Structures are given as structure tokens and as C-alpha cells.
Amino acid sequence: MENTSSDIRQLNEKIHQASAFVDLLTMELGKVIVGQRYMVERLLIGLLAQGHVLLEGVPGLAKTLSIKSLSSAINAKFSRIQFTPDLLPADVIGTMIYNQQKNEFVVRRGPIFANFILADEINRAPAKVQSALLEAMQERQITIGDTTFKLDEPFLVLATQNPIEQEGTYTLPEAQVDRFMLKVVIGYPTKEEEKQIIRQNLNPELSAPIRPIIHPSDILEARKLVREVYMDEKIEKYILDIVFATRNPEEYKLNKLKPLIAYGGSPRASINLAWAAKAYAFMKRRGYVIPEDVRNICFDVMRHRVGLTYEAEAENVTSENILSEILNAVEVP
């Protein structure tokens, strides 16, 4: 159905009102999370765009606190799974156990049956466990025995990876990484932020507990509106240009990137870029997407979808460097 000018104006107003909770939510989370606004913003994009987030950062950067607080603020169920080498798929999704009283097998649901899942250090567990989680992420349903269970919505997985300790880890294959909508790299807080963190931890009574701001059903309503955010054909072309430039850089006068890229973004990259741009526009209280929205989330959507060659690794070229080059070469509509 073709959107008219008045439709978009109405949608814009509607979204302007409906997205007010984003600021409230951010403020509420700010009561316990000092700094890390970027990470919180990305979590909300994932939540609104029905995507999952892979977080890369050293330990102690409030990853658990963030998702736990977000869960509390939305009044949703949260569970944390620490991935270890001896973890089994049943430890994640659940299993059938024998009930002696009833003389039958009953389903024992695993920790994945929650709205918010923190999969801590996902690369510590073997491939079969990773696959079990990633399949659940994709299908949003679990099959235990003969029974299939739909996972509760909203369902958001925040998986973490530690970038420094690679010994004894099971690196996620490209196909699995592609299932995450965003890969967010977070750094240390600033000096001022860290000072505040110390004070807050020394005097926990000063920080107020997180209050539920919205209900999970509000998130589902917001998702419907995100889907309605208008994306012009020019923006679609811009997204396609960026993704295609990662596949065929020579077509965008970026011949120097050709030997550095092993593989470019998949169609899932284009889909996720469009979804994330819409979610970002929603968070900025707009009913339409502008090129800034695409650029803003481009690195987080694309960084894990651009494969580097050995040559690039030898020259210390990162996927971020490549994406910067592409964004500086592709014409903005």
C-alpha cells in the first residue's frame, strides 16, 4: 500500500507520542547504569527490531546489569546462562525428566524460557550448545521431546564475547554470527563515569531501584509501529549500495578494498540494516528513516558480516576500517 503525505504525517505524530517511553526507559536505566548509553541504545534497537545483540567487551562493563535492569524496567522475565565447555543443549533449552509420582516424563524448561537472556561468554560452549541457542533465537520456538513451545515475546538474547581470552574457546562460525542483528563493541567508561560508578557502588542506598516503566505488551505494540516507519525508496537504495559495496567494492570505485574482503554482507545484512534503521528512527521519534539513521547503526549491523582476508589481517585492517571507506564512498541520497 502506497503511503501518502498525510499518512506519514499522522504516523509521525503517532510515533512521536508512542516512542516517549524510550526516553523514560533510558532515564530509568540511567539510575543504575552509569555511562554505556550506547550499549543501552543498541539493546533497545534490538528489542524494537526483533533482533539479537552480540556484545564484545572486556568483563566488568555492566553487561549483566544493563540487561537485567532493562528486564526489570519492562517488567519482563530475565535469565542468565553462563556458557562453559561442559554445558549441554539440555542445560539451555530444557529436557524431559521422569516423574515417579505420576509415572511419566514431564518437561523441565530450560533458562531460555524468558524474555531477556544473557548468554554470557557464548564462545566458551561447544558448537552444539551454540547451535541450540541460535536455533531458538531464529525460530523463536523450542522443541523438547514431541512438544514444541513458543518462546514468550519479547524475546531478546544478549550474547557476550570476551575479545582478549581466545584460548579454549569455540569461535562462532560466520553463519551463526550472521544471526545476530547487531554486534556491539563496548569500551571502558570515562574517568568521570567511573568515579560515579565507584560512588554508586560504595553507597548503594543512594541509587534507587529500577521501577517497571512499561509492560512487555507495550514493546509488542511499539514493534508494530516500528514496522510501519516509512522507508523511502532512496533509503532502500542507499542500504543496498552499502551492502553491495561490501560484496563488489570495485563497482563503487573501491578497488583497493577488493583484496581485503573475503566475503560481503548477506541479504540478512540488508534486512537487518533496514530493520535497525527503522527502530533507530522510532527511537528518535520520527515516522520516517533518514540516511543518518542508516549510517548510525551501519557499523553495528555490518561489522560481523564483512569477512576479512589474511591480507587484511596482516595489514591490521579491521572491518570498521572497510566500512568507513565504504560509507565515505557511497553517495548519500
Partner 1 sequence: MYKQEVIRRIFLCCILGLLFPFSLLAQQAVDVTAKADTNSIRIGEQIKLQLTATLTAQQFKDANFKVLFPVLPDSLDHFEVVTRSNLDTLVNQDQHILHQTFTLTSFDSGHWEIPPMRFEVFSGANATPDSAITLPIGVDVNTVAVDTTKAFKPIKEIKGVAWSIWDYWLYIVIGAAAVLIIGGLIWYLRTRKKPEPVIKTPTVSPYEIAIQELKALKEEKVWQQGDIKQYYTRLTDILRTYFEHQFSIAALEQTSEELLQNIKPVTKLNQQRDKLRSLLAIADLAKFAKLQPTADEHQECMQKAEEILEWTKPKTGAAEETGTDATLEKA
The residues that touch partner 1, with contacts defined as CB under 8 A, are 3-5, 8-9, 12, 230, 232, 234-235, 286-292, 295, 327-333
CB-nearer residue toward partner 1: 134 or 254: 254
- Helix segments in 3-62, DSSP class H: 5-18, 20-30, 37-48
CB-nearer residue toward partner 1: 4 or 100: 4
CB-nearer residue toward partner 1: 150 or 234: 234
Distance in Å, CB of 273 to partner 1, minimum: 15
Q: How far apart are CA 140 and CA 148, in angstroms?
A: 10
CB-nearer residue toward partner 1: 94 or 287: 287
Q: How far apart are CA 325 and CA 333, in angstroms?
A: 17
Closest-CA residue to 153 (of 223, 225, 254): 223
CB-nearer residue toward partner 1: 120 or 300: 300
Distance in Å, CB of 332 to partner 1, minimum: 5
Q: What share of the chain is helix, strand, coil (3-state, %, to 5)?
A: 50, 15, 35
CB-nearer residue toward partner 1: 72 or 246: 246
Q: How far apart are CA 317 and CA 262, in angstroms?
A: 12
Q: How far apart are CA 17 and CA 87, in angstroms?
A: 45
Q: How far apart are CA 245 and CA 251, in angstroms?
A: 7
Q: How many C-beta neighbours within 10 Å does residue 93 have?
A: 22
CB-nearer residue toward partner 1: 15 or 134: 15
Cell 589474511, located at residue: 310
Distance in Å, CB of 250 to partner 1, minimum: 17
Closest-CA residue to 219 (of 44, 81, 11): 44
Distance in Å, CB of 287 to partner 1, minimum: 7
Q: How far apart are CA 307 and CA 29, in angstroms?
A: 35
CB-nearer residue toward partner 1: 6 or 101: 6
Distance in Å, CB of 264 to partner 1, minimum: 19
User: DSSP letter at 112?
Assistant: T
CA torsion sign for 283, 286, 288, 290 is negative
Distance in Å, CB of 17 to partner 1, minimum: 17
Distance in Å, CB of 274 to partner 1, minimum: 14
Distance in Å, CB of 35 to partner 1, minimum: 23
Strand 53-56, strand 156-161: pairing: parallel
Q: What does the longest C-alpha to C-alpha distance in the chain come to? A: 72
